[in-house]
């Protein structure tokens, strides 16, 4: 059984619609299967479908939303490989425990929210998009004519989520970068463990969009951002500064985590604001998990709370036990804990005394 949920010809037809795939446009097909990751550079929907057909059932098949430059390097696609944004996508994602497929009711809720947002955008002059059921949620796609540096896709995702997102369905705010991959139509979505009311489904295009729809330009994004009151948002309120952490000997020095990561050449995707229990902290998504470089899909994160407290977490099961302390030990070597040394020495002495008896 293959990752394809339909015939190769039908998959190719759907991919052409999903991505507005023009003849000769190069895209990367990426296959994620457990921790394995494969890719193929293809220049037609038919070639993408043929590659998907060779993948086993259970593998997730994705395609870069935007076309890649002819000069794109021979590696997994990065933002620099995209010369122009030709596609904008929305992903309506039911809020549910991770590792579970959506239930039919959750999928219906995603479709309803997708329809509501679509009505709003169409009312602001946008064409009717291509619609797709991703298997666990709903996608909408528009043609665009935007530079890769445009901040508007990101701003719009955030603003749409703020206005329309609910506690049941979220607008995915992370899919704005030019090299973003999207689940391929015509392929199985086998993410998570199936349940009777939450089966694995085949991603499929459900509406081909407005025939001959124009490409959205910067002004189309600005019009919607203005309508959402997100065009000239007032600066964020001043950050609250919580009291520094203290211990018996006085204040704990605050670690400069950004400098520490740089000093030890730990690559990350930039420092981001992070809402934590004690105010606004900082969050670094690592390019790869220091304990296992195969964990390179954003699983590994370092956070620093407003108080200065630092934490490390990798979502991968094998890394569940690894904390910030272990990460520091991994990078800097064992840390000498004087109290611990005395305890161990005491234990060893008692053992010796017992053995001598």
Q: Least separation, in Å, of the C-beta of 327 and Zn ion?
A: 10
Picking from 130, 60, 119, 120, the residue whose alpha carbon sits closest to that of residue 88 is 130
Beta bridge partners of 64: 181
Cα separation, 333 vs 325, whole angstroms: 11
* Shortest distance in whole angstroms from residue 320 CB to Zn ion: 9
Is 319 a binding residue for Zn ion by CB under 5 A? The answer is yes
- What is the Cα 176 distance to its own chain's centre? 10
Check residue 86 for interaction with Zn ion (CB under 5 A).
no
Instruction: Specify the residue, 234 or 321, whose C-beta has the smaller distance to Zn ion.
Output: 321
- Least Å distance between CB 317 and Zn ion? 9
The size of the interface with Zn ion (CB under 5 A), counted in residues, is 7
Length of the chain, please? Answer: 357
Q: Which residue from 176, 166, 160 is spatially nearest to 82, judged by alpha carbons?
A: 176
Selected range binding Zn ion among 31-39, 248-256, 311-319, 329-337, rule: CB under 5 A: 311-319
Stretch 279-298: interaction string toward Zn ion, x if CB under 5 A: ----------x-xx--x---
- Is 316 an interacting residue with respect to Zn ion (CB under 5 A)? yes
Taking residue 345's Cβ as centre, other Cβ atoms within 10 Å add up to: 10
* For Zn ion, the closer CB: 321 or 339: 321
Q: Which is nearer to Zn ion, 159 or 286 (CB)?
A: 286
Residue closer to Zn ion, measured from CB, 2 or 315: 315
Report which of 142, 133, 82 is spatially closest to residue 108, judged by C-alpha positions: 133
Minimum Å gap between C-beta 330 and Zn ion is 11
Least Cα distance to 138 among 68, 228, 69, 201 occurs for 201
- Looking at the Cβ atoms of 57 and 325, the one nearer to Zn ion is 325
Q: What Cα–Cα distance (Å) separates residue 131 from each residue in 108, 177, 191?
A: 14, 20, 20
Task: Say whether residue 314 binds Zn ion (CB under 5 A).
Answer: yes
Assess 168 for contact with Zn ion (CB under 5 A).
no
CB of 34 to Zn ion, least distance (A): 14
Instruction: Report the residue number, 4 or 319, with the smaller CB distance to Zn ion.
Output: 319
Q: Which stretch binds Zn ion (CB under 5 A): 147-155, 156-164, 247-255, 316-324?
A: 316-324
Beta strands in the chain (DSSP E): 27-33, 36-42, 60-64, 85-94, 130-133, 138-146, 169-171, 181-183, 188-189, 201-202, 204-207, 246-247, 250-251, 268-276, 279-286, 300-304, 310-314
Q: Which residues bind Zn ion (CB under 5 A)?
A: 289, 291-292, 295, 314, 316, 319
């Amino acid at each position: 059984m293959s990752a394809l949920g339909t015939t190769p010809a039908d998959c190719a037809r759907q991919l052409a619609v999903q991505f507005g795939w023009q003849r000769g446009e190069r895209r990367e097909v990426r296959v994620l299967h457990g921790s394995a990751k494969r890719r193929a550079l293809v220049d037609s929907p038919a070639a993408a479908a043929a590659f998907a057909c060779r993948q086993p059932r259970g593998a997730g098949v994705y395609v870069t939303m935007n076309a890649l430059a002819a000069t794109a390097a021979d590696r997994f696609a990065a933002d620099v490989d995209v010369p122009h944004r030709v596609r904008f996508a929305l992903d309506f994602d039911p809020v549910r425990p991770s590792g579970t497929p959506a239930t039919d009711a959750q999928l219906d809720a995603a479709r309803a929210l997708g329809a509501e947002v679509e009505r709003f955008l169409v009312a602001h002059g946008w064409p009717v998009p291509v619609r797709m059921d991703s298997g666990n949620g709903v996608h909408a796609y528009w043609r665009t004519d935007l530079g890769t540096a445009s901040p508007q896709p990101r701003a719009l995702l955030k603003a749409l989520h703020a206005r329309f997102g609910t506690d049941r369905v979220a607008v995915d705010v992370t899919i704005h970068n030019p090299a973003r991959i999207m689940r391929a139509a015509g392929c199985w979505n086998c993410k998570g463990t199936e349940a009777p009311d939450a089966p694995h489904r085949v991603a499929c295009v459900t509406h081909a969009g407005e025939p001959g729809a124009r490409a959205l330009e910067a002004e189309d994004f600005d019009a919607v951002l203005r309508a959402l009151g997100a065009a000239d948002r007032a600066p964020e309120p001043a950050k609250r500064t919580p009291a520094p952490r203290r211990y018996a000997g006085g204040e704990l020095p605050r670690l400069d985590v950004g400098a520490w990561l740089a000093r030890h050449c730990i690559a990350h995707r930039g420092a981001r604001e992070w809402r934590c229990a004690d105010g606004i902290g900082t969050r670094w998504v690592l390019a790869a998990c220091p304990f296992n470089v195969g964990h390179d899909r954003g699983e590994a994160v370092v956070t620093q709370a407003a108080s200065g407290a630092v934490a490390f977490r990798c979502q991968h099961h094998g890394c569940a036990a690894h904390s910030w302390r272990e990460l520091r030990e991994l990078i800097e070597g064992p840390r000498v804990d004087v109290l611990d040394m005395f305890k161990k020495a005491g234990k060893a002495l008692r053992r010796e005394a017992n053995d001598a008896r």
